[in-house]
Homo-oligomer: A and B are copies of this chain.
Amino acid sequence: MEKETIKYISQPTIKRLPLYLNILRNLPKDQNFVSSSYIAAELKLEPIQVRKDVSSLGITGQARMGFNALQLIETIESVLGWSNTRDAFVVGVGSLGTAILGYKGFEDHGLKIIAGFDNDVKKVTTKVHGREIFHVNQLAELARRMNIQIGILTVPNEVAEITANLMVKAGIKAIWNFTQTKLFMPHDVIVERVDLASSFAVLSSKLVEQKTKGAKSEA
């Protein structure tokens, strides 16, 4: 397979890559080529957008054929760093942390959750979904020993900042932040926040909009 020259990949493109990957992985085994219009139809996107995204990966297709599916899969996995699994710790074993400890789907994203941490001694030394729970004051030692780069932050908002600082001190390089708190971290620490409130805001504002429209058309 030829070497691709990867250009700058925009964040909107990065966010679509897992969707493409999902489709490509579920392709029938004997289907070696896939067209931009096929992918687009599956995702309700425009073919041109798929082609633009693929082009930014440095992949070229073949007229009348489309793109090499295997090459696409491998390139996306490599761009996302999903080719090899990365180990991660979950910090905060409340209901959300528990759910994440038990979620199987992350393996498809190259993410392997190793253990959980909590400051509640009642939770420590128990197992949640087969993973051991340690006290947060063991975080630094274990993270360094196991060379953990990714921390999943699922503590209550009030302790989000202080816990994130602990994680950074423990050598963690990337924080997946499930709290409501905007973290102010050193610039070399990667922080990505899952913002449920923003997502729900979109949903509920549309519901408001639809209702006012309905009220108008009734009048």
CA distance A215 to B44 in the complex (A): 38
A141 within 8 A of B: no
C-beta contact mask, A183-204 vs B, less than 8 Å → 1, else 0? 0100010101111111111111
Chain B CB within 10 A, most for which of A18, A101, A109:
A18
In the complex, which residues 44-81 of chain A have their Cβ closer than 8 Å to any Cβ of chain B?
Answer: 44, 78-81
Contact A82 B182 (CB under 8 A): no
CA distance A129 to B95 in the complex (A): 10
Instruction: For residue A125, give the distance in angstroms from its CB to the closest CB of chain B.
Output: 21
| Complex interface: chain B residues within 8 A of A111 (CB) | 200, 204
A24 within 8 A of B: no
C-beta contact mask, A8-34 vs B, less than 8 Å → 1, else 0? 010100111111001000000000000
CA distance A23 to B128 in the complex (A): 34
CA distance A105 to B44 in the complex (A): 32
CA distance A79 to B209 in the complex (A): 8
| Complex interface: chain B residues within 8 A of A78 (CB) | 208
| Complex interface: chain B residues within 8 A of A201 (CB) | 14-15, 17-18, 80, 109
In the complex, which residues 83-121 of chain A have their Cβ closer than 8 Å to any Cβ of chain B?
Answer: 86, 94-96, 98-99, 101-103, 105-106, 108-111
| Complex interface: chain B residues within 8 A of A19 (CB) | 182, 197-198
| Complex interface: chain B residues within 8 A of A110 (CB) | 204
| Complex interface: chain B residues within 8 A of A15 (CB) | 195, 198-199, 201-202
CA distance A81 to B109 in the complex (A): 35
A149 within 8 A of B: yes
Contact A207 B17 (CB under 8 A): no
Contact A200 B182 (CB under 8 A): no
**A interface list, Cβ under 8 A from B:** 9, 11, 14-19, 22, 42-44, 78-82, 86, 94-96, 98-99, 101-103, 105-106, 108-111, 129, 149-150, 173-174, 176, 180, 182, 184, 188, 190, 192-208, 210
